[in-house]
Amino acid sequence: MLELAVLGFLYDAQLHGYDLRRRIAALTGHVRPIADGTLYPLLKRMEAAGLLHRELQPGQVAAPRHMLSLTAEGKQDLLNRLREPDELFVTDENRWFTLLAFLRHLDDPAQQAAVLRRRLRFLTQPASFFWDEGRPLRAADFDDPFRQGLFTIATATTRTELEWLRQTLVALEPQA
């Protein structure tokens, strides 16, 4: 997920690590300020893999910045990840949102639609947070307000997303 976010942000603009870090923190939900010890080694790995290019820009504001940009290979890698995301990116809320943030980079509406269809398929499968003997439990099966809240929030989210998905698919698939 982190790699996708790095690639996605750099597709638009050159950034330095510190800036990248703030943007990723905001995107993944203000929520999960990724550690220095995670980001900088990741950037080195990605540079070593030929996805990133690094350019030293001495003393702009404070310490010298390492301006990062995508190589041709890095751009291609981003597009591949967007076109054929791992199943986890379709099923996991956080990863799916990260993918959505950058799906516009995938230039072909048909390919964008195909990704949305995978999410649609996932969301329309029967699901529940709790099961008893193979039977899915519903909000009415609980008397505590917290699990009811869980269901209330999840249901509202799913309904909103399904509505958006269907509308957007109509716009992306002109005649079908």
Partner DNA sequence: ACAGGATATATCGAGTTCGAGGTATCTTCC
Partner DNA sequence: GGAAGATACCTCGAACTCGATATATCCTGT
Using CB under 8 A as the criterion, which residues of the chain lie in contact with a copy of itself when the complex forms? 22-23, 26-27, 29-32, 88, 91-94, 97, 100-104, 112, 125, 127-131, 144-147, 149-150, 152-153, 156-157, 160-161, 164-165, 168, 171-172
| Residue pair 17/40 in contact by the 8 Å Cβ criterion | yes
> Which residues, 6 or more positions from 87, have their beta carbon under 8 angstroms from its beta carbon?
none
Q: Give the residue from 147, 154, 149, 155 showing the smallest Cα distance to 130.
A: 147
Angle between helical axes of 72-83 and 2-12 (0-180°, round to 10): 120
40 binds, among DNA, a copy of itself, none (CB under 5 to 8 A by kind): DNA
Using CB under 7 A, which of 26, 44, 73, 166 touches DNA?
Answer: 44
Using CB under 7 A, which of 31, 48, 62, 176 touches DNA?
Answer: 62
- Looking at beta carbons only, is 34 or 165 nearer to DNA? 34
**C-beta of 158: minimal distance to DNA in Å?**
23
38 binds, among a copy of itself, DNA, none (CB under 5 to 8 A by kind): DNA
| Residue pair 105/8 in contact by the 8 Å Cβ criterion | yes
Using CB under 7 A, which of 9, 65, 90, 95 touches DNA?
Answer: 65
75-134 binders of DNA (CB under 7 A)? none
Pinpoint the alpha helices (H) of the chain: 2-12, 17-27, 36-48, 72-83, 87-91, 93-102, 109-123, 145-172
